[in-house]
Amino acid sequence: MKRLLPLLCLMALLAACEKDIEFDGAITEPMLVINAVALPDTTLSVEVTESRFFLVSQDTFTTVKNATVSLFVNGTFKENCAHQANGRYTSNYRPSEGDHIRLSVSAPGLQTVSAETMIPMRPVIERIDTSLSIPEAYPISYNYYDSQGNSIGGDTTGWNIHYKMTITLTFKDPGGQADYYRLVVKRQRDYYQEGYFENIWYTKDDIVFGETETGADMEEIIDMGTYNIYGTFTDELFDGRSYPLTFGVEEWIYVSNEDYNSGRMPLDSTKKASEDTEPYIIDLQALDKSYYLYLLTSSAYDPYSPFAEPVQIHSNVEHGIGILGAYAGSNLKLSLSF
Amino acid sequence: MNVRALLPLLLSMMAYASVNAITLSGHIVDANTGETLINASVFERTTGKGTVTNPYGFYSLTLPASSLLVRFSYVGYAQQTLALAPTKDTVVNIRLVPSTELSEVTVWGGDVRETGVKGSQMSTVQIPASQIKAIPTLFGEADLIKALQLLPGVQAGTEGSAGMYVRGGGPDENLLLLDGVPVYNVNHLFGFFSVFNTDAIKNVTLYKGSFPARFGSRLSSVVDIRMNDGNDQSYHGNVSVGLIASRFNLEGPIIKGKTTFNVSLRRTYADILVQPFIKIAAASDQSLSGMSAGYYFYDFNAKLSHILSDKDRLYYSHYMGDDAIYAGFKEHYKEGGNLTEESRMKMNWYWGNLISALRWNRIITNKLFMNTTASFTRYRFDLGISNVWEQRQKNPPAHFKEEQMVGYLSGITDYTFKADFDYLPTPDHDIKFGASYTNHTFRPGVSVAKMRSTDTTAFNLDTIIGDKNVHSHEFQVYVEDNMNLGDLVKANIGLHYSTFAVQQTFYHSLQPRLGLRFLISDKLSAKLGYATMSQYIHLLSNSSVSLPTDLWVPVTKRIKPMVSRQVSAGLFYNLLDEIDLSVEAYYKTMDNLIEYKDGASFMGSSTGWEDKVNMGRGWAYGVEFLAQRSFGKTTGWLGYTWAKSERLFDRPGQEINGGRVFPAKYDRRHDISLTLTHNLTKRIDLSGTWVYSTGNCGTLAMQEYDGLDIPDAQMWFSNNGHINSRNNYRFNPYHRLDLGINFHKQKKHGVRTWSLSVYNAYNNLNPFLVYPSSDYTYDRINDRYIEIKKLTQLSIFPIIPSLSYAYKF
């Protein structure tokens, strides 16, 4: 909305006129694109594709199946990653925290590219504190209508509970260097698909997330807030100290009548639906700078916003495009208990 | 400057004083209206000495006590020559009569205009208000800023916008002074109109470089706008009705020859015209009843001037203007006779300036003029939305009410006190000095939210989110001497010193200024200028369109003041005593510029803005050519600019564009403009403008690529654009012809004028935006749609005719 507003005003005022024009600049050649994120104790998976000139119409990007993807760790050659399928190459080597990773990718007809990164150390989580509140709870009952059309309330069968859990995660930041973080909250959803994790939206109350909001109703009219969709932040405000990071999860839960009645808290959680009992996984990730910048710039990238200065998505690939990022996460599970 | 350097100056002054010298001084005004004339010439033939009037129409000329032949002249007025033989200091007040005849300005070689061949000032253009009004414009709405955009060295940015990019600088680097008071927001309607009502304006001077020491606080330009004082003899006014707005102006004496007033009002009326249509729509659709909505802007200018005594004058200038968007909605619901429900929504959104200045002029001695000013200027943006829901029930009696209110406020407020002195000890020295103090209050974005309900269990809220006001103190002091060093050399040497204190941070800056003229012949001179400028405030904005939420913020500990250094050199020639020709070259550096980090966005809140910007530097250079004719039947100018403006953000951690040089947003190589006005007969005058410029720069992602499948994310772009460099694509050239014709007719009580103008007369589809887009065609064989990519250009102003009517009495 915020970007549309001036445009709408403009359009309302004027009958704008569009016409197709010839591109009269230099047509640039396709480049090698590599996409990879290195994690400790995990084999490295590298996607190799080809970029295309923006006026070329094509549904998918061309994958590069005949590339040589060389992996260097701490300055020494380790291996050529094996091609699996559709331009995806994997290593046998499982890097460790603190490893310096370099990829060199070459393919016939395209310029050889390289990228490097350093796998950060896993963050040290010191403690976690939670507080739970229930701002709203509504009884669920069977209602029926009599012959005059009046609603007659039936028995309460259960409750819809709106709960908010404020979480404070305290972790130790290594001093004397710029550190980049991302907070991820997820829940395992095996009922949906084996091994599937659902990302949980959380309130980014903490100042480090840099979110500003304009207030509930106003967003509908003019959106002046800034949002941090990937939950990234830096240690600029707490370099070298233990930092209590505050955020919150806020969800609705259905509780049957036996568990929750007349304002009393439900006593045991076993009768709640199974998807609501999955523990929250709080994953604090330390990111390398390139990956952090990639997340920041790609979330701001908006090709449909003609008035804003276009965003250059961060790339650390020499002579090519893409990203070789790295992160190391520490996580803990948090079960919801009333 | 040490004492030794001052010695020759003092000696020359003493030498001058020791000859039996007298001082002629006074005010030069328009004979019909009593309006003071700015930069009118006073020239004495025998001595060859002269001067010009200051912004208050005051002059002072010290000459030997002998028989003198003094000529008073001003462009567009018949000159007056007086033979005098004064024996003591004499006050000579002059009333000049307007005339369209060519005056013999230069017959005596007495062109003493500061911006002319013989003045020391360069990089400066003056435009009389009458010429601004004659230029054909968009929707027929005469616009000062758009007239300035036609001058060499000034660029408009996007089409139709009132933004000004002077010699490669940004739109927030211009000091726009309305009667000496800064105007922070010059835009109406997202920049399509400027706030200056040409009815209220007397004179405009634009400084692009070689800034005299009396100006400071912005990097790239000073626009000195003076308002009309008001007729001191009789009541006059005009009413005009245009396509966009109507205007009304009234001026006259409160006490004849002593106290005058001048008020001007302008308001758009689209919202009023739209009301009946809303009513008609509401009549057919029940849910729309009680709806109102609209947009308007207005400007109100007022000036009072009062002559207290021969030596004292008081002026009060006032300006207020707002843009406003309003909407209201009312809904009523009834259930039988028992229950009524009502909901009301109201939105008020307005932004604008308020300026007030009280000025006291005093002629302390015939050689020393003082002007003191107390002024107030404020820009504020205010948005309020309220929602009320009410339910009443008769039986059993019940009443529920819920109220919600959200608001957002931002702005800047200045209180300024200043004293300026003009000391003219001899005709060879014009010394100006003064000091000012400004208290700025920056109001960063503040949101207010309130919720109230009769239901005691409901969530009640009353909060304020946002930063506290930030106060700062700016102090300026200056001295300049515009001196003749022999017959061939004239120099304006000055120093400007300023300090800025904000939140335990203190900055100061000493800024040398220099203007030099070498007279090659009576008609040809070479000039050299140098100026350092410093700016302590930034405008946060992340759109190329001017938005009311754009926010002024002060420098901080981390974000240093911007500094520019500019050298300019040029040749000035007077052709046939009629046309001023000039060629100027300039080189300008700008330090501590700010740009948004990639991915950072600002919208109405100053919270943490320092983290979102990078600091870097820029430079601009170019050559400007101007041929200007300001009097006679045909007036106007031809301007050409060749320019280049680049930016470099390469400080570690603050790189933009990978730390490589990139063209500035409105870097354009060529700009040509031709502006002409011709009085065909007494009843008809014609005007025309033609502009041509290199296309603007845009940023295109030339390559598309597959984005990273971001771990732990539900959403990511799989189709990313790769931008190899900022501003890497140039739009097609821009050119446009505007034409206008005015028909005047003398009526019983005044003159009526019909004005017909055509914007973009040959309907050239100029690029406003260029962006990639797609067409889809159906492939029958494979039963699918095929995407065809293309480049699309958006043009927003086709041929636009407009008509207006004015009655001047």
What's B546's DSSP letter?
-
Nearest residue of chain A to residue B702 (CA atoms): A54
Looking at CA atoms only, how far is residue B386 from chain A in angstroms?
Answer: 9
A150 neighbourhood in chain B, CB within 8 Å: none
Nearest residue of chain B to residue A51 (CA atoms): B705
Structure tokens at B35: 């309006």
Q: Which helix (H) or strand (E) holds B532?
A: strand B524-535
Are B702 and A53 an interchain contact pair (Cβ–Cβ within 8 Å)? yes
Pairing state of beta strands B703-706 and B719-722?
antiparallel
Average pLDDT (B65-84) is 85
Q: What is the pLDDT of residue A9?
A: 46
**Model confidence pLDDT, tens digit, residues B617-637:** 999 999 999 998 877 788 899
Residue A270: pLDDT band (50, 70, 90) is very low
Name which of A2, A186, A216 is nearest B712 (Cβ-Cβ). A186
Are A184 and B604 an interchain contact pair (Cβ–Cβ within 8 Å)? no
What is the share, in percent, of chain B residues with pLDDT greater than 90? Answer: 33
Total-model pTM: 0.81
Task: List the strands of the sheet with A68-73, edge to edge.
Answer: A76-80, A68-73, A100-107, A110-118
Average pLDDT (A137-148) is 74
Spatial CB neighbours of B52, under 8 Å, sequence gap ≥ 6: B39, B40, B41, B42, B59, B112, B113, B114
Name which of B347, B602, B705 is nearest A321 (Cβ-Cβ). B705
Nearest residue of chain B to residue A304 (CA atoms): B771
**Model confidence pLDDT, tens digit, residues B742-798:** 999 998 888 999 989 898 899 888 888 888 888 888 888 888 888 888 888 888 888
**Model confidence pLDDT, tens digit, residues B530-571:** 999 999 998 877 655 566 667 888 898 888 999 999 999 999
Q: What is the distance between the alpha carbons of residues B617 and A40, in angstroms, rounded to a whole number? A: 41
Name which of A17, A135, A223 is nearest B798 (Cβ-Cβ). A17
Confidence check: pLDDT of A220 > 70: no
What is the share, in percent, of chain B residues with pLDDT greater than 70? Answer: 89
Name which of B192, B608, B788 is nearest A210 (Cβ-Cβ). B608
A51 neighbourhood in chain B, CB within 8 Å: 703-706, 722
**Model confidence pLDDT, tens digit, residues A296-315:** 888 877 766 666 667 888 89
Contact B408, B383 (CB under 8 A): yes
Are A298 and B708 an interchain contact pair (Cβ–Cβ within 8 Å)? yes
Structure tokens at B225: 């706008």
CA nearest neighbour of B772 among A58, A23, A308, A29: A23
Backbone angles phi, psi at A210, to 5 degrees: 65, 25
Name which of B190, B708, B717 is nearest A6 (Cβ-Cβ). B190
**Model confidence pLDDT, tens digit, residues B580-594:** 899 999 999 999 998
Q: A325-337 burial string, b = 16+ CB within 10 Å, else e?
A: bbbbbbbeebebe
Highest averaged pLDDT of the listed ranges B36-45, B122-131, B687-696? B687-696
Contact A330, A173 (CB under 8 A): no
A321 neighbourhood in chain B, CB within 8 Å: 703, 705, 722
Contacts 24+ apart (CB under 8 A), B450-457: B450/B403, B450/B404, B450/B405, B450/B406, B451/B402, B451/B403, B451/B404, B451/B405, B452/B401, B452/B402, B452/B403, B452/B404, B453/B400, B453/B401, B453/B402, B453/B403, B454/B399, B454/B400, B454/B401, B454/B402, B455/B400, B455/B402
Name which of A33, A197, A229 is nearest B706 (Cβ-Cβ). A33
Nearest residue of chain B to residue A214 (CA atoms): B447
DSSP A181-216: EEEEEEEE-TTTSTT-EEE--EE--SGGG--B---T
Q: What is the pLDDT of residue A41?
A: 93
What's A61's DSSP letter?
P
Backbone angles phi, psi at A289, to 5 degrees: -60, -40
Pick the CATH number of A23-118 from 2.60.120, 2.30.29, 2.60.40, 2.160.20: 2.60.40
Q: What is the pLDDT of residue B218?
A: 94
What stretch(es) of chain A map to CATH 2.60.40?
23-118
What's B7's DSSP letter?
H
**Model confidence pLDDT, tens digit, residues A175-218:** 888 899 999 999 888 777 777 888 888 888 787 887 655 444 44
DSSP H stretches of helix in B573-702: 609-612
B236-696+731-780+790-808 and B124-227 share a CATH fold? no
Longest dimension (CA), chain A: 85
Are A313 and B542 an interchain contact pair (Cβ–Cβ within 8 Å)? no
Residue A328: pLDDT band (50, 70, 90) is very high
Q: What is the distance between the alpha carbons of residues B675 and B345, in angstroms, rounded to a whole number? A: 49
**Model confidence pLDDT, tens digit, residues A239-261:** 889 999 999 988 887 776 554 44
Q: What is the distance between the alpha carbons of residues A4 and A305, in angstroms, rounded to a whole number? A: 8
A16 neighbourhood in chain B, CB within 8 Å: 768, 794-796
Looking at CA atoms only, how far is residue B547 from chain A in angstroms?
Answer: 8
A218 neighbourhood in chain B, CB within 8 Å: 383, 385, 406, 408, 447
Average pLDDT across chain B, whole number? 85
Q: What is the pLDDT of residue A199?
A: 87
Are A226 and B605 an interchain contact pair (Cβ–Cβ within 8 Å)? yes
**Residues forming beta bridges with residue B483, ordered by sequence position:** B429, B491
Q: What is the pLDDT of residue A256?
A: 67
- CATH class label, B124-227: mainly beta
**Domain ranges across chain B:** 3-98, 124-227, 236-696+731-780+790-808
CA nearest neighbour of B707 among A303, A294, A319: A294
Nearest residue of chain A to residue B386 (CA atoms): A217
B788 neighbourhood in chain A, CB within 8 Å: 57
Are B544 and A283 an interchain contact pair (Cβ–Cβ within 8 Å)? no
Confidence check: pLDDT of B803 > 80: yes
Looking at CA atoms only, how far is residue B702 from chain A in angstroms?
Answer: 5
Are A224 and B605 an interchain contact pair (Cβ–Cβ within 8 Å)? yes
Looking at CA atoms only, how far is residue B243 from chain A in angstroms?
Answer: 13
How high is the ipTM of this complex? 0.85
CA nearest neighbour of B52 among B62, B44, B43, B65: B43
Tell me chain A's radius of gyration from C-alpha atoms: 26
CA nearest neighbour of B169 among B209, B219, B212: B219
Looking at CA atoms only, how far is residue B665 from chain A in angstroms?
Answer: 9
Average pLDDT (B115-131) is 84
**Model confidence pLDDT, tens digit, residues B423-472:** 988 888 899 999 999 999 988 766 677 777 776 665 566 666 666 788 99
Are B792 and A31 an interchain contact pair (Cβ–Cβ within 8 Å)? no
Distances (CA, A) of B450 to A136, B457, B564: 20, 16, 46
DSSP B497-510: EEEEEETTEEEEEE
CA nearest neighbour of B326 among B354, B371, B292: B292
Looking at CA atoms only, how far is residue B764 from chain A in angstroms?
Answer: 11
Confidence check: pLDDT of B261 > 70: yes
A197 neighbourhood in chain B, CB within 8 Å: 712
Interface test with A, best of B460, B550, B710, B799 (most A CBs within 10 A): B710
Q: What is the distance between the alpha carbons of residues B627 and B431, in angstroms, rounded to a whole number? A: 30
Looking at CA atoms only, how far is residue B130 from chain A in angstroms?
Answer: 29
Confidence check: pLDDT of B274 > 50: yes
Are B700 and A25 an interchain contact pair (Cβ–Cβ within 8 Å)? yes
Are A54 and B772 an interchain contact pair (Cβ–Cβ within 8 Å)? yes
Confidence check: pLDDT of B234 > 70: yes
Confidence check: pLDDT of B708 > 60: yes
Confidence check: pLDDT of B394 > 50: yes
Q: What is the distance between the alpha carbons of residues B533 and B476, in angstroms, rounded to a whole number? A: 12
Nearest residue of chain B to residue A56 (CA atoms): B789
B771 neighbourhood in chain A, CB within 8 Å: 306
| Placement of tokens 């020759």 in the chain | B8
Nearest residue of chain B to residue A291 (CA atoms): B710
Residue A152: pLDDT band (50, 70, 90) is confident
Q: What is the distance between the alpha carbons of residues B481 and B498, in angstroms, rounded to a whole number? A: 18
Q: What is the pLDDT of residue B460?
A: 63
What is the share, in percent, of chain A residues with pLDDT greater than 70? Answer: 79
Name which of B542, B712, B720 is nearest A199 (Cβ-Cβ). B712
Q: What is the pLDDT of residue A271?
A: 47
Residue A276: pLDDT band (50, 70, 90) is low
Q: What is the distance between the alpha carbons of residues B677 and B740, in angstroms, rounded to a whole number? A: 9
Nearest residue of chain A to residue B161 (CA atoms): A10
Pick the CATH number of B236-696+731-780+790-808 from 2.40.170.20, 3.40.50.300, 3.40.50.2300, 3.90.1150.10: 2.40.170.20
Looking at CA atoms only, how far is residue A256 from chain B in angstroms?
Answer: 24
**Model confidence pLDDT, tens digit, residues B191-206:** 778 888 888 888 899 9
What's B103's DSSP letter?
P
Confidence check: pLDDT of A266 > 50: no
What is the interface size between A and B, counted as CB pairs within 8 Å?
A: 232
Name which of A19, A28, A215 is nearest B447 (Cβ-Cβ). A215
B658 neighbourhood in chain A, CB within 8 Å: 312
- A276: helix, strand or coil: helix
No. of helices (H) and no. of strands (E), chain B: 5, 50
Contact A322, B708 (CB under 8 A): yes
Architecture of domain B3-98: Sandwich (2.60)
Name which of A21, A298, A309 is nearest B720 (Cβ-Cβ). A298
Are B708 and A322 an interchain contact pair (Cβ–Cβ within 8 Å)? yes
- B125: helix, strand or coil: strand
Q: What is the distance between the alpha carbons of residues A227 and A212, in angstroms, rounded to a whole number? A: 7
Name which of A59, A223, A321 is nearest B722 (Cβ-Cβ). A321
Structure tokens at B203: 């004179």
Residue A134: pLDDT band (50, 70, 90) is confident
DSSP H stretches of helix in B597-691: 609-612
Q: What is the distance between the alpha carbons of residues A26 and A1, in angstroms, rounded to a whole number? A: 34
Top-confidence residue, A114 or B470: A114
Q: Which helix (H) or strand (E) holds B62?
A: strand B58-64
Q: What is the distance between the alpha carbons of residues A302 and A263, in angstroms, rounded to a whole number? A: 47
CA nearest neighbour of A182 among A73, A316, A279, A299: A299
Nearest residue of chain B to residue A2 (CA atoms): B603
A138 neighbourhood in chain B, CB within 8 Å: none
CA nearest neighbour of B612 among B554, B543, B542: B542
Looking at CA atoms only, how far is residue A325 from chain B in angstroms?
Answer: 10
**Model confidence pLDDT, tens digit, residues B713-750:** 876 667 888 888 888 888 889 999 999 999 999 988 88
Average pLDDT (B122-144) is 83
Q: How many CA atoms lie within 13 A of B143 on its CB side?
A: 26
CA B675 to centroid of chain Cα atoms:
20
